[in-house]
């Protein structure tokens, strides 16, 4: 078994890591790290469990440790740390020879750091050799994108063959994406907030890196642009998005539907990979977060309402589970790919 630690283990995404790694066939949780005030205490004492499942027995009595490489006997760490803290801490682990599979945004846009979705750009793992040579460390940092970006890009990958020219996207994002105390109830109940800090910028930049090509040790951005508008809505889990795109080959709605249905990245040998990365819904009022967020154990992206728009545009709606497919599950799937490729 591969020894795994979780950084930021008490938070929303950290708890998802615990949930997804407990009983995993390849990874064994050997360390849970959190703030200094939690260190030395049993996990069940400091983690206010907020998921709709029971806290795994194997972690209840586990003592929380400081977020330092010397405090953890691990081969890999899964990071759910805040971005401002992750910048230094994740580098410390990489210098110590540990693989870091990170959900934090700190390192995503660094030129030598893979920004990964295994179904989309597995070849970008080639940046690890560049990273190790440049930074002179034996470990490595591999990141997954912003939660909304992940779901959208999974649906864009099979449409790249049509020659995408531009994309407009409007998101309706669940409150869990802001963390347990991120949006006060008096702010979101009976309300919608038309701003999420840095979210639009992340979608517009990360998408181009993910769908870009790896050439001579660096990623060349995809040759189109993205315009995003992001909104927080009163939904617990599950980000929904409306997408408008234009492509050079002017695909029909049926062309797009077939591309979604045929998308088969062949990751069946990775335990967290869903049977279908994209599930097409035919009902006129689907996908919906409450009905569709747990498709593929929360790892599938659901699409629906595929239709033609003005001036040869294609329109569709997509939805995915933001703390599973868009966060912890994405990092776990990246780690499974790392193992498959021999980095673990």
SS3 145: coil
Residue 99, domain extent: 2-146+328-340
Report whether pLDDT(166) > 90: yes
Catalytic residue among 124, 230, 239, 321: 239
Please give the tally of structural domains in the chain: 2
Per-residue model confidence (pLDDT) at position 180:
87
Same domain (yes/no): 13, 142: yes
Cα–Cα dist 125/117, whole Å: 10
Active site residue 239: yes
Same domain (yes/no): 21, 169: no
Query: By the 8 A CB rule, do 232 and 179 touch?
Result: no
Catalytic residue among 124, 147, 230, 321: 147
Per-residue model confidence (pLDDT) at position 81:
97
Query: By the 8 A CB rule, do 33 and 67 touch?
Result: yes
Same domain (yes/no): 248, 112: no
* Closest CA relative to residue 21, chosen from 83, 115, 89, 101: 101
Same domain (yes/no): 17, 123: yes
Same domain (yes/no): 134, 163: no
Separation in Å, CA 70 to CA 32, 66, 92, 96, 292? 13, 9, 10, 9, 42
Same domain (yes/no): 195, 266: yes
What CATH number is attached to the domain comprising 284?
A: 3.30.360.10
Same domain (yes/no): 124, 211: no
* Closest CA relative to residue 66, chosen from 5, 13, 122, 24: 5
SS3 112: coil
Same domain (yes/no): 151, 140: no
Per-residue model confidence (pLDDT) at position 342:
97
Same domain (yes/no): 110, 156: no
Extended beta strands in the chain, E state: 2-7, 27-34, 64-66, 76-79, 99-102, 140-143, 164-173, 192-193, 213-215, 218-220, 225-233, 239-247, 278-280, 301-308, 314-320
Tell me the average pLDDT of the chain: 97
What CATH number is attached to the domain comprising 114?
A: 3.40.50.720
SS3 72: coil
Same domain (yes/no): 52, 126: yes
pTM: 0.97
Same domain (yes/no): 18, 127: yes
Kindly tell me the sign of the dihedral angle through the C-alpha atoms of 240, 243, 273, 120: negative
Per-residue model confidence (pLDDT) at position 322:
98
Same domain (yes/no): 127, 157: no
Tell me which residue has tokens 């790919």: 337
Active site residue 230: no
Mean pLDDT of 126-132: 98
Q: For residue 114, what are its two tokens?
A: 């893979």
Cα–Cα dist 142/126, whole Å: 11
Mean pLDDT of 36-44: 95
Residue 242's pLDDT band (cuts 50, 70, 90): very high
Q: For residue 59, what are its two tokens?
A: 């972690």
């Amino acid at each position: 078994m591969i020894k795994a630690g979780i950084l930021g283990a008490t938070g929303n995404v950290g708890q998802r890591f615990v949930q997804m790694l407990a009983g995993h066939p390849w990874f064994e949780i050997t360390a849970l790290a959190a703030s200094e005030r939690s260190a030395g205490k049993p996990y069940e004492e400091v983690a206010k469990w907020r998921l709709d499942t029971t806290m795994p027995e194997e972690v209840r009595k586990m003592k929380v440790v400081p977020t330092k490489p010397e405090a953890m006997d691990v081969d890999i760490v899964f990071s759910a740390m805040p971005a401002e803290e992750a910048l230094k801490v994740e580098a410390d682990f990489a210098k110590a020879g540990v693989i870091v599979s990170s959900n934090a945004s700190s390192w995503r846009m660094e030129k030598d750091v893979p920004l990964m979705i295994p179904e989309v750009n597995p070849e970008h793992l080639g940046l690890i050799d560049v990273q190790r040579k440049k930074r002179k460390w034996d470990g490595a940092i591999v990141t997954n994108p912003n939660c909304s970006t992940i779901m959208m890009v999974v649906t864009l990958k099979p449409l790249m063959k049509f020659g995408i020219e531009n994309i407009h996207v409007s998101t309706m994002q669940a409150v869990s994406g802001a963390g347990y105390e991120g949006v006060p109830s008096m702010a979101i109940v009976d309300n919608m907030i038309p701003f999420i800090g840095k979210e639009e910028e992340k979608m517009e930049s990360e998408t181009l890196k993910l769908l870009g090509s790896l050439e001579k040790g660096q990623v060349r951005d995809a040759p189109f642009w993205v315009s995003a508008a992001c909104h927080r809505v009163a939904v617990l889990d599950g980000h929904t998005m409306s997408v408008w795109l234009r492509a050079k080959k002017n695909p029909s709605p049926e062309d797009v539907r077939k591309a979604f249905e045929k998308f088969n990245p062949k990751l069946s040998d990775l335990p967290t990979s869903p049977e279908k990365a994209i599930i097409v819904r035919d009902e006129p009022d689907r996908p919906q977060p409450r009905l569709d967020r747990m498709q593929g154990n929360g790892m599938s992206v659901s699409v629906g309402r595929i239709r033609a728009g003005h001036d040869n545009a294609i329109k569709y709606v997509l939805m995915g589970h933001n703390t599973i497919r868009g966060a912890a599950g994405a990092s776990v799937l990246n780690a499974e790919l790392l193992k498959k490729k021999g980095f673990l």
